[in-house]
Structure 1
């Protein structure tokens, strides 16, 4: 009977994790291709579960486009050293991301360089946990 309870609990936990994995899927972004552009920060939505850096980019024909660059939430960004105040409206940046597969003006944020001081911001650095290789979990 105990084994049946353990098996039922394991199954319930497994089923509960499926929506979480689906929510964090990056399948809408190109896995290999990147785009790099220079623009001006319009807004930094520093929110859970995902943050968005909204950037106005000048097109070759003189018009502008608004691009959204997705990143993880504030706790992951903070671990990467990225604060909301780093990208106030009007901040000039060069940003690289993995574009949407369907061609919409959005991408997964890979790296950004602030024009005023050349500082680089890599949101992926927030996934690295210090001491993880030493069994500190």
Structure 2
């Protein structure tokens, strides 16, 4: 039986930054998140509002610790990465995965060994 991944609403750039913080550093309070931003740091209310939006979208959840909310990621990076990649292919390569791979080849961003690994994965998936 194939496990379906949950679908999540699209993220803004600011929301994606916070998700990266949570994935890389684990559960955090808003004030901890603020320390990770470069100067000029956003206002605490901006970060707090963004985290609550992420919670409403289903990306994060919180636990109450000493009266404050500590937020943690519910969505995994792979949930986000697959959706983001599909969006990039749709928006910039007219929905063609081969055009995206061709661009990587032309810009020398992918090696022959990596291409062989991709072919092996496609063939293995086809045989499953």
Shared fold per TM-score greater than 0.5: no
> Taking structure 1 as the reference length, what is the TM-score of the superposition?
0.23
> Taking structure 2 as the reference length, what is the TM-score of the superposition?
0.24
- Which has a greater percent of helix? 2
- Which has a greater percent of strand? 1
